[in-house]
Amino acid sequence: MLALYPSNKLEHLSFLLTTLLRQQPLGVFTPETILVESPGMQHWVSMQLATEHGVAMNIDYPLPVRFMWNTARAVLGQDTVPKQSPYRREVLTWRIDNILQDGSLMSGDAFEQVNRYWQNAGSEQEQGLQRLQLATALADVYEQYLLYRPDWLFKWEANERAVFDDMEIWQSEIWRILAKEQPLHPARLHQMTLEALDGGHIPNQHPTSNLPKRVIVFAINTMAPQLIAFFDALAQHIDIHIFHLNPSVNYWGEAKSSSEQAKLLRLEGLKKWMEEDQSNPLLGNLGKQGRELFNLLTELDTFEISAFDSPDFDEGDNNGENNRSRGLLEYIHNDILRAAPPKPLDCGLKSGDVNASALKEKDDSVTIMCTHSALREVQVLHDHLLHWLSQDKTRTPSDILVMCPAIENYAPFVDAVFHRVGTKSLAGTGQVRLPCTIADRSPMDAEPLIAAFMALLQLPDSRFGVSDIMDYLQLDSVQKRFAVSQDDIEQMVVWLKQAHIHWGLNSAHKTAVSEGVDLDETYSWWWGIRRLLMGMLAPDSEVIVSDLLTIPDVEGQSALTLGKLIDVVALLGEFAQALTAPRTPLQWSKALIALRDACFMPIKEQQQSWDLIAKVAADLAARCEEAGYEHELSLRQVRDLLLNRFSSPDAGNHFMTGQVTVCSMLPMRSIPFKKVCILGLNDSEFPRKSSPLGLDLMASSGRQIGDRSRRLEDRYLFLEAIISTRESLYLSYQGNDVTNNSERQPSLVLAEFMDMLENSYELDLSKYSVNAPLHPFSEAGFTGQIPSYETGWLRLADALQQAKLHSDKVEDEFVDEGNTAVLAPSADTLSSQTLRLSSIQIARAFKDPLEYFSIQRLGVNLSQSFTLLENSEPFETNALLRYQVLDAIFSSPERIAPEKDDVTQLSYSEKVITFASLRGDIPNNPVARDEVDMWKEGALALSQAMGPHDAEPKKAHFQGKYITFTSSALLGSEALVELCAGKVDAHRALSFFISQLVFSSSDEETSYSNYPLDIYSCAWEKGETILKKQRFPAYDRETAVRLLLFIEQLYMAVYTAPTPVYLSLFGTFMPGTRNSDTKAVVESVKPEMFTDILRALLDSADGTNETDKAILRQVQQAVDELCPFIDKEDDVASETTSEKHEKAKRTLDQAVALFDSIELQRALTDWQQSNGQFSADMANNPYLNWLFPQGVSWNDVPHLSAFVLLAMVNNASQEEKL
């Protein structure tokens, strides 16, 4: 008997199944046979049966193909049919590879195309790899032929052609060889079994005694025609119960998609199109795969028991339960159930019906979310789920299913968003934990031990990059194996950085893995390790021993840590050599286990991965033995085999564990959940595309009913997701580009769904579609229709909001004359004793003001502060290396008295360069060495040009209102002098300018306030050394004090609030960059005009924003308080009569006009988006993006004050070439 149980709900199928098992129980020791399509469905059925019966046991869940094989054994006899099929893909691969390696067989003309594919691959290892890959692809193709094209195989065995393709010639020849070796392949057994079942010619006298008492086929949504024929024949002898998930109670076997309807209209005209019954568009567009199975099942002679469920949609009943407000999802389900075309939802409703008004507003049964990125999809989903759970206390995380077309793309974000919430470090913060499990991940993607093991199989080809080896040591099982702690690893990283270890074990290894590399061990592992070992025995300073520079940093117990590092490198080096040898499959099985045991140690969290490696290694030997494969395999072949195995997802792992289930979109994920969410419904990403193998003759011969199609499967998966949702459906896609916010289209299936809502149901789509903000800390995320539950983002959003409110408040308060101390910090926190700063420290604040404020005031460092290990050795010099070498030479006593070191017999400059070279700082090539020699010669020439000077630097300081300025410089014969190892850019020039002002502000008799400050530097252009001197003249005390107080207030603005006074912003206005008007204004700010320009700036009211005004009022207040030596009457007189003051006012007016003449906001936007331009990288500045997420406006910047300061610095010195 063949019984069919159709239903639109899986719960009803489960009820029918449990009823069947209860009313017609088998014997206690007789197993039930239930065919399912996936381990996830098996788990769900078992849980349902256990819930209804109290226990679920003695149930066999074979896959359909395995069931057919077992049935053939039962019908034809166990002596005739082996227990395991030799045509399993994993065995068939090795049988085919055996054939491909048979020279006598492959020498025939039929195999010319095959031989050309893999024998022209290059090396012998590459040929072996491509041959095995061909065998694997052929095994997969033959497996499809066995299930979907058995007639081809029978024709090939009869030496007949089936598709008349060139590839058919050699594919049929290989198949005949396989069939000759093992005649009973699945297609033949299927044929023999059907003949035996139909004709009653069964060898076994009691065939049904070996067959299961009954067979249950539960909710399989796609079956090959021969499988259905197999069930039909078997039903003559035992009971077959097919539980079919059918979305519609009505006949929908001829439902047409939109494209099919358009084709009908085009070919047969409007009349024929109008005569066609209009079906539900979801069934027509998404249900082709299910429709094919529906039609195949309706052709069978079956006994049918239906169990369809529909909400009561009686329009005439307006009382009781029928008057409740129904959600949109219920209407969609009802139309699918009845295979009816959707109609406007308010059509036919009575006036005053609760649905008449509810349908005009959004309900939460359908939500379409538009975001900017995969990360934002997960973040918004997390908040949405928390909100959904909070609406009904009966809802639990186990009621939620989240599906993604590609789980590997979303798993890292799910880990980051879901698993971070509620962790111990966040305990007590009020955050809610939402438990989550991720299913369908491949071991290679999900298990660190598997990934590390596969990385070790790359050792023979590895460059032994330093970061790669240290990444290996980060694994817990590796740390346990070598008894390494995290503190040990941190110490190792420091040593490796000091030792300049980059790649290669030694010189021989470097030469072997990289072509064109000289036999040199510099930057290799053993080169650096020997330096560390010799440093243990040498003095506490660097010395040269056997042409190696020691590293005196290993002492005491830390020597044990170094020993562990040596053990790791030595062991990996041994395996890099040992793994190169070819081995038989059995030998490889043992070698893989040995590699695992030597390099890892099992821990509880990774026990499953540990066992999986052993299983895969054992399966390799067992399957090759079953196929009679005895050839040796290369490492590349074994790597490829293991990679394919570990890259296959485990479909049953972590599915439905009582938490939120996040999984991939796989067939038969129609298990009912209250909440079903689908992420990643993006254009060109879903339905997913699968490129058929070039060997697949099915792809070129046309599709037949029952054939697998990734596109049709994905469409039907989307339909199943809709009908399996019980309360709320959540659909998400990335509808805006994350970089420029441009619009992106959703997946075609989602677009069709949205079109149905808008045009068929005539709903306002904006009520169901939500656009998520770009940032999780956006104000809309906490005040709009997407409630966020993340307290961390709330704190940031609140801080930004408070900053905005404070900025608005400050702007309003500045109008009041009494509020002149808004930027002034409290005296108890910012006294002059707490801020004693050098000129270099003050200038550094203006290099990145927002970084300075964040670190100094907020204690937040967003910069990458970790030690970065590089796998590549340096090949060219850079500005930092030049600075270090020059600075070391400038600080040497050789500038005064050239002498040679007693031990090394090198001059100080030669010693600096030699040590830098042996240390690994200087690239090991002639070009770099010549360049360094040129630096040395230029540095010595510059020292001689500076002339004699005191050995000890002279010091000076100035007491400001909040800061004690400090400065130092060497005293030469006629000036204060300094050597600069780098380029005198704007920040260094500011530092030297402040330093000279500090010296000029002194009133001590022994001061050097009248001395100019000469800065000596050198540059190299086109191989020529250029010596330069920049002279900062001395200033009178009044000017120096005014300028220092001016700089102090600009510094305090940066120090006390996020103030983007970036010199790079104003660098665009410096001479030679933009236009002659800018150049003229900047050049008019002469040193002799500094005092008058500052006075004019203090007096100005127009042309400055409120931030400028606050700074300038603080400067004036400081001048009044701290400068009693300034004659106020003379000061006033000069403001009214001085010609210089009038000229200064004109200069300032020109500066204001300059800012008025340019497109300020456009210039500011260009600067914020700059990437390495203007000596800045603002586009990637984390502090700018954090503190000013909406961008900087000119009101945030004291632009006139900053412009005047930079113009002063630009003109404060005179440069001359020596």
Cα R_g (the chain), whole angstroms: 40
User: What is the C-alpha separation between 1050 and 846, in angstroms, rounded?
Assistant: 9
Gap between the Cα atoms of 1050 and 1066, Å rounded: 15
Mean pLDDT of 442-470: 94
**Would the pLDDT of 392 be above 70?**
yes
3-state DSSP assignment of residue 403: strand
Is residue 501 located within the same domain as residue 404? no
- Per-residue DSSP letter, 1009: T
Q: What is the rounded distance in angstroms from the CA atom of residue 1204 to the CA atom of residue 1108?
A: 11
Answering whether pTM is above 0.75, one says yes
Please tell me whether residues 459 and 587 are part of one structural domain.
yes
Between the two ends of the chain, the Cα-to-Cα distance in Å is 107
Domain-ending residue, one of 183, 212, 228:
183
Residues 973 and 1080 reside in one and the same domain = yes
pLDDT for residue 359 = 57
**Where residue 448 sits, what CATH number does that domain have?**
1.10.486.10
Q: SS3 letters for 75-134? A: HHCCCCCCCCCCCCHHHHHHHHHHHHCCHHHHCCHHHHHHHHHHHCCCCHHHHHHHHHHH
Name the domain boundary from 906, 924, 946: 946
Residue 313 lies in a domain: no
Give the separation between CA 1128 and CA 1125, rounded to whole angstroms.
9
Instruction: Examine the domain organization and report whether 470 and 547 are in the same domain.
Output: yes
Decide if 267 is inside a domain.
Answer: no
Residue 221 near residue 38, CB atoms below 8 Å = no
Question: Which residues does 353 contact at the CB level (< 8 Å), separation at least 6?
Answer: 318, 323
What's the mean pLDDT in 414-428? Answer: 62
| CA-based nearest residue to 554, from 580, 570, 573, 530 | 530
Tens-digit pLDDT profile for residues 1082-1128:
888 888 888 888 888 877 655 567 777 788 888 888 887 777 666 55
Query: Are 1193 and 1121 members of one domain?
Result: yes
The verdict on 339 and 382 lying in the same domain is no
User: Do the beta carbons of residue 249 and residue 306 sit within 8 Å?
Assistant: yes
CATH number at residue 67: 3.40.50.10930
One domain, residues 71 and 106: no
* Dihedrals phi, psi of 28, to nearest 5 degrees: -60, -40
Q: How far apart are the C-alpha atoms of 239 and 831, rounded to whole Å?
A: 93
Last residue of a domain, one of 946, 973, 998: 946
Residue 38 shares a structural domain with residue 111:
no
Residue 819: what pLDDT? 34
Least confident of 370-384, 1061-1075, 1174-1188: 1061-1075
* Beta strands at 239-245 and 366-371: parallel, antiparallel or unpaired: unpaired
Q: Does residue 832 belong to any structural domain of this protein?
A: no
Task: Give the range among 10-24, 465-479, 1055-1069, 1131-1145 with minimum mean pLDDT.
Answer: 1131-1145
Residue that is written with structure tokens 């049964």 in the block: 365
The angle formed by the CA atoms of residues 110, 112 and 115, to the nearest 5 degrees, is 125
Q: Based on the domain organization, do 471 and 497 belong to the same domain?
A: yes
Report pLDDT for 1128.
53
Phi-psi region of 656 (alpha: psi -120 to 50; beta: other; left: phi over 0): left
Is residue 828, in this structure, part of any structural domain at all?
no
For residues 162 and 152, give the distance between their C-alpha atoms in angstroms, rounded to a whole number. 6
Instruction: Indicate whether 374 pLDDT > 60.
Output: yes
Return the ∠ at Cα 1202 (arms to 1201 and 1203), rounded to 5°: 90
Q: Which residue has the higher pLDDT, 996 or 1198?
A: 996
Mean pLDDT within 318-342: 77
Residue 1059 has pLDDT above 80, yes or no: yes
pLDDT of residue 894: 52
- What is the distance of C-alpha 582 from the center of its chain? 37
- Residue 514 scores a pLDDT above 80: yes
- The residue written with tokens 């069930």 in the block is 231
Q: Please tell me the distance from the alpha carbon of residue 1010 to that of residue 959, in angstroms, as a whole number.
A: 19
Check pLDDT > 60 for residue 1209. Answer: yes
The number of domains in the chain is 7
Q: Is residue 68 part of a domain?
A: yes
> Which range is least confidently modeled, 182-191, 275-284, 954-963?
275-284
The residue assigned the tokens 């190892």 is 981
Cβ(505)–Cβ(464) below 8 Å: yes
723: CATH: 3.40.50.300
> Is 809 among the domain residues?
no
What mean pLDDT value characterizes the chain?
Answer: 83
The answer on 762 and 726 residing in a single domain is: yes
Quickly count: other Cβ atoms within 10 Å of residue 290's Cβ. Answer: 23
- CA dist., res. 783 & res. 996, Å (int): 54
d(CA 1203, CA 1084): 13
CA distance 70 to 210: 10
The larger pLDDT score, comparing residue 270 to residue 587, is at 587
Residue 217 pLDDT > 90: yes
Lowest mean pLDDT among 118-122, 912-916, 1089-1093, 1136-1140: 1136-1140
Whether 1146 and 1069 share a structural domain: yes
Q: For residue 827, is it within any domain? A: no
Mean pLDDT of 618-625: 97
Pair 522, 552 in one domain: yes
pLDDT computed for residue 394 by the predictor: 93
Range of the domain at 888: 879-946
Structure tokens at 326: 């129904």
Identify the three-state secondary structure at position 438. Answer: strand
Angle at 1014 between CA 1010 and CA 1018, to 5 degrees: 180
With 0-12 / 13-18 / 19 or more C-beta atoms within 10 angstroms meaning exposed / middle / buried, residue 576 is buried
Asked if residue 795 belongs to a domain, the reply is: no
